[in-house]
Structure 1
Amino acid sequence: MLWNDLFTAVALLLVLEGLMPFLNPAGFKRALIQIVALPDGVLRGFGFAAITAGLLLLWWLRG
């Protein structure tokens, strides 16, 4: 069952990641240009926040 859950999560991630470039490609390009201009520390902060939020959500859902 673990593999099924993992593949389901990856499939959902792909769907969510594909929404922005599909619905608004120009806005997606602008966002990427702005992201490239951010300092590494800010990107790491966003990454850490996303990881923390994801782990807390998993803990809450699977608790």
Structure 2
Amino acid sequence: MWVDLLRALALVCVIEGLMPFIAPERWRETVLRLAEVAPRQLRIFGAVMIAVGVVALQFLHYV
């Protein structure tokens, strides 16, 4: 189980690192824009992403 968790976290690192590697200036602009977003909007976005991830994991589990 722990190995699967570590693999998942490693994959997150790879995916998160793609944008700064491919388009660093665009990534910087996006991060600066995100810094201006209200905390409530960020929480809602985070909650939606969590829900999408959970649904995707459940779907993949049964496929």
TM-score (norm: length of structure 2) = 0.91
CA RMSD of aligned residues (A): 0.8
Q: Aligned pair 1:4/2:9, yes or no?
A: no
Q: How many matched pairs?
A: 62
> 2:56 & 2:6 partners in 1: Cα distance?
18
TM-score (norm: length of structure 1) = 0.91
| Partner AA of 1:31 in structure 2 | T
> 2:11 & 2:60 partners in 1: Cα distance?
16
Q: Aligned pair 1:47/2:46, yes or no?
A: yes
> 1:11 & 1:40 partners in 2: Cα distance?
27
Identity of aligned residues (%): 35
| Partner AA of 1:18 in structure 2 | G
> 1:23 & 1:39 partners in 2: Cα distance?
27
Shift of 1:6: 0.6
Shift of 1:51: 0.4
Cα-to-partner distance string for 1:16-49 (whole Å, 9 max, x where unaligned): 0000001111001100010000011110111001
Unaligned runs of 5+ in 1: none
> 2:17 & 2:32 partners in 1: Cα distance?
17
Unaligned runs of 5+ in 2: none
